Amino acid sequence: MKAISIVGYLGMVGGLLGLIAIKSLLSASPLVIAPQVVAMVLMIWARIAFGRRSFHPAANPTAGGLVTAGPYRFIRHPIYTAVCLFVTAGVLAHLSVSSFLLCALVWASSIIRMLCEERLLLVMCPEYGKYASTTSRMLPFVF
């Protein structure tokens, strides 16, 4: 699982770097800036709720118990959700085959990471199954 999660991590980073390279991540349009600001706020809120735990390139749930506060009350993966929202907003402003494929890479890689983390959390935190049954992965009531 950890090796697969590293592939997901590298895919996310590669997709983001590719979008930066082709100048398809940022825009001066308020229609892009607004969802990207929302994404940044969600990411910061999630990091605050997550506490002093560290992030690892390989999916590796940290000690300290399951986090269910902050945005984690509503969605299980707010940081991946924020990354996908940020990327999608930028890509929609610069839609091309290249930007679409890089956006799809970020999304697919994020989903790979989510699935890997969930498998590991089911083993490490017995209460994760119940928590997962009451929250959505990314979009409440959708996914």
Which among 142, 42, 137, 140 is positioned nearest to 89, based on CA atoms?
Answer: 42
| Cα separation of the two ends of the chain | 22
Q: Give the integer Cα–Cα distance in Å for 66 and 90.
A: 32
Residue type, 124: M
Tokens encoding 104: 């799809």
Q: What angle do CA 61, 140, 116 make, to 5 degrees?
A: 25
DSSP state of 62: P
Q: What is the pTM of this model?
A: 0.91
User: What pLDDT is attached to residue 51?
Assistant: 80
Tell me how far apart the alpha carbons of residues 114 and 85 are, in angstroms, rounded to a whole number.
Answer: 15
With a cut of 70, list the residues of the chain below it in pLDDT. Answer: 53-54, 56, 60-64
Amino acid at 16: L
